Structure 1
Amino acid sequence: MHRLIEAMERTIFGQRTNVRLVVAAMLAGGHVLLEGVPGLGKTKLARTLAALTDGSYRRVQFTPDMMPSDITGNVIYNLQENRYVAVEGPVFCNILLADEINRTGPKTQSALLEAMEERQVTIQGETRALPSPFFVVATQNPVEYEGTYPLPEAQLDRFLFKLTLDYPAEAQEIEVYKTHGLGASGGGAIEPVCSLADVLAHREKMSRVTVEDGIVEYIAHIVRRTRDNKKVLLGASPRAGLAMLNASKAWAYLDGRDYATPDDVKLVARPALRHRLLLAPQAELEGVTSDVIVEETLAGIPVPR
C-alpha cells in the first residue's frame, strides 16, 4: 500500500492527503466523490490508481441524454443465435470513473445505487455480481451548475468520502509542467505495483485493526451531535458513523498501526461527513459550510484518552 501511494504521488502532484484518502477509501471498501474545477487531475487520479493496481478501468462521461442501461447494460436480441443475450455495461469493472456525475438525470444517477451498495446490478430482472474489488470514483464541477442535476441525499450517502481538490502550490505546479508527457516518474509508462489480490488481502488485514470502545463512543457522539445542531436540517446517519469507523481503521492501517486513535477519527471526519449534512437555509445564507459544522462538532466533544 505504501508503494501504491508513493507511485501515485509521483504522478499526482499537490494532492498528498487526497491521494492517501483515496487509497484508504479503496482499502475500506468505499467509494469517493471528487469535487474540483477542471484541470486538477481528477480523471488522472482514477486512471493512475487503476493502472498501478492492474485493475480493469472504465470511464463513463455522464450526459443529460444518458439512460440507466448505458451504465448497467441491457438485453439485446442476437439474430444469429436466435435468442436474447445480456450485454454488460461499463459498470462491470474494478475501478469505474463516473465523470461529471451531476450532468445526468436522477434516473440514470440511481442506476449506480445498487452497484455501489450491494456490488451487483439487475439487468432485465437478472441479478449479476460485479467484479471484486469494485471502486467508484465520481467527479463533479463545483462552479458550473447550468444543465446539472444535484445528487440526491441517498446517492451522496453511498460515497465514503467527498474530497475537494484545490490548486497545487507553485513548486508543485512547476513540477507538473516539467514532467508533463514523461510518464509516471518522468520516464516511462505506468507499471503496476500491486495486484487486485494484494488489495483484497490488505483489506482483510485492515478489518482486524482494533478500535477501542472509547473511540467507538467518540464516533457515535460526533454523529449524533450533528443531528442536534440547529444549523443542520438533516444530520449524519448511522451509515455515516460506520463510514468514519471503517475509514479510521483504513487510515491507521496505512500508518502502520493495528489500532485506531482519536486523531484518525478527526482526520477522516470532514471527508466522511461533509456530503452527508443538509444545512438549514439560514445557515447557507450566512455562509456556513458543512466543513464548519464538522469542525464545530469536533471542537465541542471531549477527546477520549
Structure 2
Amino acid sequence: MTDEYTDEEVQRLQDAVDEVREQVSRRIVGQEQVIERLLTCLLCDGNALLESTPGLGKTTMIRTLADATALSFSRIQNTPDLMPSDVTGTEIVRETSRGQDLEFEPGPVFANVVLADEINRATPKTQAALLEAMQEGQVTVGDETHPLPEPFFVLATQNPIEQEGTYPLPEAQRDRFTMKLTLDYPDRAAEAEIVDRYTRQRSGDVAVERAISPEDLAAVQDLVRRVPVADGVRDRAVDLVRSTREADRLDYGASPRASMNLVLAAKARAFLDGRSHPDAEDVEAAARPVLRHRVVVDFRAEREGVTPDDVIADLL
C-alpha cells in the first residue's frame, strides 16, 4: 500500500481493525453502518456528531469502542449550568511545604475518547471550550496550555426531538466534526435480540477484549493518510463539495475542510474494506455523513420539508 509499510504489516493492522469491529459487535446488536462510520472517523483521527433519540445505546457503543482499543474514556453530560472549567479542568490551590501553590486539575476532556452527551444543551461559552480541544488538541487554562492525550476522539450527541432549552452548535464548531451520523431504531429482529440478551444480563457483563493497541491505532491513522488516491477520485470529491456552494436550495455550502474530510473518509473506508485505494463509490458513500452538517437549506426548501440529505442526493 505504501513503501514505508510492508504488505505483512498492512495486513496485520487491517486484521486488528477488523477485530475492533468484531469486539464492538459483541455488545451492540445491529447498527453495522454506524459502527463502520465511527471507525472511519477514528481512523481519520477525526470527531463525530451523533444524532439520535434516547435509549439507542450511544454511550454503550462508544464505551465499547474505547474498551476494544484500550483507550481511556470519559463522559460529559452537558447541561445549561455546565461551566468551561467543568470540561477542561481548573487551577486549584494546594498546600505544600513551600506554602500555597496553584496546581492544574485536569477535567474530563483529558481522555482519549470523550463522549459529549447532548452537546447542544451546553452554553456557547462551554461549547467554545470544547472547540479548542477539538481544533488544537489542547486546552488553555490561565497562562498555561495543556496538551490532550493522543489519540483524541470526541463523539458528541444531540437529541433531534427535544429542542427546548438548547443552544444550536455554531457553524464553526459543526465544521470541526468529520461526520454527522444518525442512529435509527433497530429493526424488529434486532430489537427482539436486544431484549432477549439484555433482560438476562447487563451490557457490561459482555466481555470485550482489547483488539488493537494505541500505538497500532496511531500507525493505522498514519497509514490511512498515506493511502494513494487517484486524481479522478479526488476530483469527484472536490467537485461535489464545490457544487454545494452553488446549489439552489442551500443558503451556503461546505468549506475546503469538507473536501479534505471527504477524501480522508474515502481512504479510511477503502482501508476498512481491505482495499489499497479508494474509488468514486467510497466518496459517494461518505458524502452524506461528511456534508449533511456543513450545509444549510434555505427557508423555502425547509418549508417544503427538504433536508440536507435530499440536496446532497440530488448533487450526487
- TM bin, normalised by shorter chain, reads over 0.9
- Equivalent residue letter for 1:77: V
Determine the structure 2 residue equivalent to 1:166.
184
Determine the structure 2 residue equivalent to 1:23.
39
Determine the structure 2 residue equivalent to 1:36.
52
Indicate which of 156, 161, 175 corresponds to 1:138: 156
Deviation by residue 1:34-75 (Cα, 9 ceiling, x = unmatched): 100101111111111111111110001001001111111111
Q: 2:102 matched to 1:73?
A: no
Normalising by structure 1, report the TM-score. 0.94
Displacement after TM superposition at 1:99 (Å): 0.5
3-state SS of 2:245 partner: helix
Displacement after TM superposition at 1:79 (Å): 2.9
- Equivalent residue letter for 2:252: L
Determine the structure 1 residue equivalent to 2:124.
106
CA contact (8 A) 1:95 1:135 kept: yes
Q: Describe the shift of the 1:188–1:145 C-alpha distance in structure 2 as closer, same or farther (beyond 3 A).
A: closer
Determine the structure 2 residue equivalent to 1:302.
none
Q: CA RMSD in A?
A: 1.3
Indicate which of 267, 277, 284 corresponds to 2:285: 267
Task: Give the 4+ runs in structure 1 shifted more than 4 A.
Answer: none
Deviation by residue 1:186-233 (Cα, 9 ceiling, x = unmatched): 974322222211211111221221101111111111011000012111
Indicate which of 23, 30, 37 corresponds to 1:14: 30
Structure 1 residues 110-189: aligned runs within 5 Å = 110-180=128-198, 182=201, 188-189=206-207
- Equivalent residue letter for 2:294: R
Normalising by structure 2, report the TM-score. 0.91
User: For residues 299 and 85 of structure 2, what CA distance do their matches in structure 1 show?
Assistant: 36
Indicate which of 237, 250, 257 corresponds to 2:268: 250
Q: Describe the shift of the 1:54–1:285 C-alpha distance in structure 2 as closer, same or farther (beyond 3 A).
A: same
3-state SS of 2:115 partner: strand
User: For residues 100 and 187 of structure 1, what CA distance do their matches in structure 2 show?
Assistant: 26
Displacement after TM superposition at 1:244 (Å): 0.3
Aligned residue pairs: how many? 297
Indicate which of 36, 50, 59 corresponds to 2:66: 50
Displacement after TM superposition at 1:91 (Å): 0.7
Q: 2:16 matched to 1:5?
A: no
- Equivalent residue letter for 2:28: I
- Equivalent residue letter for 1:249: K
CA contact (8 A) 2:23 2:209 kept: no
Displacement after TM superposition at 1:234 (Å): 1.2
3-state SS of 1:243 partner: helix
Unmatched runs of 5 consecutive residues or more in structure 1: 299-305
- Equivalent residue letter for 2:29: F
User: For residues 205 and 177 of structure 2, what CA distance do their matches in structure 1 show?
Assistant: 35
3-state SS of 1:174 partner: helix
Displacement after TM superposition at 1:138 (Å): 0.7
Indicate which of 68, 78, 82 corresponds to 2:100: 82
Determine the structure 2 residue equivalent to 1:218.
236
Indicate which of 84, 109, 127 corresponds to 1:91: 109
User: For residues 188 and 296 of structure 2, what CA distance do their matches in structure 1 show?
Assistant: 35
Unmatched runs of 5 consecutive residues or more in structure 2: 1-16
Determine the structure 2 residue equivalent to 1:301.
none
User: For residues 97 and 43 of structure 1, what CA distance do their matches in structure 2 show?
Assistant: 7
- Percent identical among aligned pairs is 48
Displacement after TM superposition at 1:183 (Å): 6.0
User: For residues 127 and 43 of structure 1, what CA distance do their matches in structure 2 show?
Assistant: 29
3-state SS of 2:27 partner: coil
Deviation by residue 1:97-141 (Cα, 9 ceiling, x = unmatched): 001101111110111111111111111121111111000011110
User: For residues 148 and 172 of structure 1, what CA distance do their matches in structure 2 show?
Assistant: 32
